């Protein structure tokens, strides 16, 4: 993720039109019980941007119902700063203007609201037709940024998230909303510096925070105000879900950086296991950013230690599970990665119990993004499909590809042909019909 203009070229390049198309052509057969919306967010700058992370947010959506692809839409998230030539980024007291947002990273649904997220700002609510409703601050109770990677507990329906980036302490705060969407908890988290905390992890009993050595540096050249620190250190923090007022217990680990968590869970003997995509470093001045790889961290609270294990040295990113197992012992995980160094992009399915991986290899010039798991029945970790936007390089357009998750190496179950190109982006979700 070095600072170059790669994000303005090829399949990263922004698109300029908002499209609407109905009754999309399909190769293969869409499963008739796939009924809902696949929405994915990503940066789509209207002007030159200095970094991939800073472009205006655009959501791309496909509606599936009754075995047909009913429509495709792409829409910018029209935040309060969208049409402002020089938006106010900081208030008079030095705090961030949380309504000035690109809303370009994720799109999630909780308690009947669909939210477009970026970690530097408040959420923006959108409709399933991708119209922007407006800023959402939990009825005035949230006066903080919201992470782009909230977690929904499958057992309680609670939404867990954090905000970070305050210049003054506390630099991080943990929040919890109940299943009805009411913000019910704010717990300050004590960290010594202003770091880039992109993601975190949730288990049945714990919230796991990553305090890692990518630190705020307003003078950094290249569009991202963060840089690697050789002196900050790295640690994991455990917060009890039942007793958050007890604060965080920290555990040191080797310096590294993590953008994304696959999942985490508690074990019967009291340990906490987290699977993450780990980088040796990130944003180190003058040094190319390395590739990420899948690691397992095992926290032993009694011993005060973290065991760090590399599971696969092949690069990968955008890790996803069956979200019905968030915080539990999910057996299967999915990443987008390379078959080998500098090889083609693949979708990879890991059996985390046996450490066996299988891959779907796309035709030459076809580049997949993040794959979202959609269950086919009520059995967690059972049958399901993987949905991903795939760039068709030879034809300079994109498809929505549906794979059988249990037979990932097989040909796609269905390929929905879109009317244009979906630029490389970040994260999204399947929103099933109620």
Cα–Cα dist 415/366, whole Å: 13
Tell whether residue 198 is among the known ligand binding residues: yes
Strand intervals (E) in 267-411:
272-279, 293-300, 305-312, 316-320, 332-338, 345-351, 356-361, 366-368, 372-375, 384-392, 397-404
Pair 345, 337: CB distance under 8 Å: yes
Question: What radius of gyration, in Å, describes the C-alpha atoms of the chain?
Answer: 20
Is 376 exposed, middle or buried (CB count within 10 Å of its CB: 0-12, 13-18, 19+)?
A: middle
Backbone φ and ψ for 393, nearest 5 degrees, come out as -60, -45
Pair 400, 69: CB distance under 8 Å: yes
CA max distance for the chain: 58
Tell whether residue 260 is among the known ligand binding residues: yes
Tell whether residue 265 is among the known ligand binding residues: no
Cα–Cα dist 34/71, whole Å: 14
H helix intervals, 185-307 = none
β-strand pairing of 36-43 with 206-211:
unpaired
Cα–Cα dist 176/159, whole Å: 6
Length, in residues, of the chain: 434
Who's near 357: CB < 8 A, 6+ residues apart? 312, 348, 349, 350, 351
Range 177-181 contact pairs with CB under 8 angstroms and sequence separation of 24 or more: 177/110, 177/111, 177/138, 179/111, 180/111, 181/110, 181/111, 181/112, 181/113, 181/138
Quick one: tokens of 115?
């939210």
Cα–Cα dist 219/225, whole Å: 7
Checking phi first, is residue 17 left (phi over 0); if not, alpha (psi -120 to 50) or beta? beta
ω before 170 within 30° of 0 (cis)? Answer: yes
Who's near 347: CB < 8 A, 6+ residues apart? 334, 335, 336, 359, 360, 368, 371, 386, 388, 403, 408
Q: Which residues are annotated as a binding site for Fe cation?
A: 149, 198, 260, 427
Q: Which residues are annotated as a binding site?
A: 149, 198, 260, 427
């Amino acid at each position: 993720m070095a600072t170059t203009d790669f994000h303005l070229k090829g399949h990263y390049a922004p698109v300029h039109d908002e499209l609407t198309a109905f009754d999309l052509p399909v190769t293969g057969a869409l499963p008739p019980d796939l009924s809902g919306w696949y929405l994915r967010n990503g940066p789509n700058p209207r002007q030159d941007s200095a970094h991939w992370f800073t472009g205006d947010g655009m959501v791309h959506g496909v509606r599936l119902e009754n075995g047909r692809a009913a429509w495709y839409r792409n829409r910018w998230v029209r935040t309060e700063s969208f049409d402002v030539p020089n938006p106010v980024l900081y208030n008079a007291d030095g705090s961030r203007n949380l309504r000035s947002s690109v809303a370009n990273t994720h799109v999630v649904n909780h308690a009947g609201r669909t939210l477009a997220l970026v970690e530097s700002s408040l959420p923006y609510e959108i409709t399933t037709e991708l119209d922007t409703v407006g800023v959402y601050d939990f009825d005035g109770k949230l006066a903080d940024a919201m992470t782009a990677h909230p977690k929904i507990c499958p057992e309680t329906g609670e939404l867990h998230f954090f905000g970070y980036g305050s210049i003054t302490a506390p630099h991080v705060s943990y929040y919890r909303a109940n299943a009805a969407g009411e913000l019910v908890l704010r717990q300050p988290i004590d960290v010594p510096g202003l770091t880039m905390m992109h993601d975190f992890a949730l288990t049945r009993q714990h919230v796991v925070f990553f305090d890692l050595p990518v630190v705020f540096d307003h003078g950094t050249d290249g569009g991202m105000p963060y840089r690697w620190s050789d002196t900050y250190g790295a640690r994991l923090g455990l917060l009890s879900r039942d007793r958050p007022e007890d604060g965080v217990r920290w555990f040191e680990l080797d310096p590294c950086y993590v953008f994304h968590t696959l999942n985490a869970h508690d074990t019967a003997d009291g340990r906490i296991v987290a699977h993450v995509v780990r980088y040796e470093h990130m944003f180190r001045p003058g040094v190319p950013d390395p590739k990420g790889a899948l690691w397992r961290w095992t926290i032993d609270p009694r011993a005060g230690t973290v065991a760090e294990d590399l599971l696969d040295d092949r690069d990968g990113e955008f890790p996803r599970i069956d979200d019905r197992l968030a915080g539990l012992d999910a057996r299967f995980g999915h990443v987008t990665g390379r078959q080998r160094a500098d090889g083609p992009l693949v979708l990879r399915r890991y059996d985390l119990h046996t450490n066996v991986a299988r891959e779907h290899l796309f035709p030459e010039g076809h580049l997949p993004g993040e794959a979202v798991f959609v269950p086919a029945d009520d059995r967690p970790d059972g049958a399901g499909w993987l949905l991903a936007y795939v760039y068709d390089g030879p034809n300079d357009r994109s498809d929505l590809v549906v794979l059988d998750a249990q037979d990932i190496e097989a040909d796609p179950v269905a390929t929905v042909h879109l009317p244009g190109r979906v630029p490389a982006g970040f994260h999204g979700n399947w929103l099933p019909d109620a």
